[in-house]
Amino acid sequence: MKVLRTPEKYFENLKDFNFAPNYLTILFQGHQLQMHYLDEGSNQEEVVLLLHGEPTWSYLYRHMITPLVDGGKRVIAPDLIGFGKSDKLITAEHYSYENHVAWVQCLIEALDLKNIILFAQDWGGLIGLRILAHHQDRFSGLVVSNSDLPVGQGATKGFMQWLAFSQQVENFNCGKIVNQGSMKALDADEIAAYNAPFPDESYKVGPRVFPRLFPLIASDPEAQENVLAWEKLRGFSQPTITVFGTHDEAFIGAEKNFIDIVPGAKDRMHQIINAGHFSQENQPQALVEAILTI
């Protein structure tokens, strides 16, 4: 199994990103994978787990981490395997929905995280919600932004357009993609930071594969696993808040699933905000405030 690790030189002097790196070794098919994560405010008892999606990494949370720590939280922000400073597998078959769930669960168990508020966006939700559903004793709250747990009932037109683009585009420019999915224009340094983990196409297998892992049909085993997860979430009574971007064509409307199904979402201050898919870029303070209300 060949694994790539982005040289550290590509991460030097990133704009607004001065957090200390941490690494967890994960055993996968007889090989050791390094998962990078941020761990700020580690003296605090309440944990906020910030899970990113595609094609981002923990840099996405640069404007949220310090305000959350100032608000009394310990903040854990991992880079999914294949993203950020984490190791990158070059074989597409090694990336699966199931594997991503297992890798994040390894981090939670290795750090023995408890009293967790999960913030889940994009694939951070598809992955994190599966873990929360089956390990509810570790979680004290949930904030969802522009995400869902798909059960094989197709997808929005916006997602299908993204799926086609991701498989056909010759140069998978992660920084440009994030810029297009945000409602504010990122500057050149920010775009470069999103591209930093991926010096060339050989590093981009993880981002390329992710859209293909989305369970579109009910017979997909991962869709069936998500059906089971939704059943578990019917018993999640901890505070649950949705903060969705009105301009996110991939997930807008999915907030109703959480509001209707999760008991902890009842009578909460759910929001539709003026944001695109990457709400962390548009309104980080609104997301921080939602997390701190839990």
| Residue 144 pLDDT class (50, 70, 90 cuts) | very high
Q: 191, 188, 158: which is closest to 174 by C-alpha?
A: 191
pLDDT given for residue 42 in this prediction? 85
Among this protein's residues, is 277 annotated catalytic? yes
3-state secondary structure of 38: strand
CA distances from 282 to 21, 85, 91, 182 (A): 25, 24, 34, 7
177-205 pLDDT tens trace: 999 999 889 999 999 999 999 999 999 99
> What pLDDT score was predicted for residue 158?
84
Q: How far is CA 147 from the centre of its chain?
A: 9
pLDDT (tens digit per residue) in 206-260: 999 999 999 999 999 999 999 999 999 999 999 999 999 999 988 999 999 999 9
Q: What is the CATH number of the domain that holds 73?
A: 3.40.50.1820
Mean pLDDT for 111-132 is 98
Tally Cβ neighbours within 10 Å of residue 271: 20
Residue range(s) defining the domain that contains residue 102: 3-292
Residue with the bigger pLDDT between 30 and 75: it is 75
Quote the number of domains for the chain.
Answer: 1
What pLDDT does residue 157 have?
87
The active-site residue out of 79, 87, 148, 248 is 248
Q: 189 an active-site residue?
A: no
SS3 204: coil
Does residue 248 have an active-site annotation? yes
Cα–Cα–Cα angle for 219, 224, 225, rounded to 5 degrees: 145
Catalytic residue, chosen from 31, 122, 220, 247, is 122
Residue 39 banded pLDDT, cuts 50, 70, 90: very high
- Residue 194 near residue 59, CB atoms below 8 Å: yes
DSSP 91-114: -GGG--HHHHHHHHHHHHHHTT--
* pTM, to two decimals: 0.97
CA 85 to chain centre: 15
Residue 144 in tokens: 């969802």
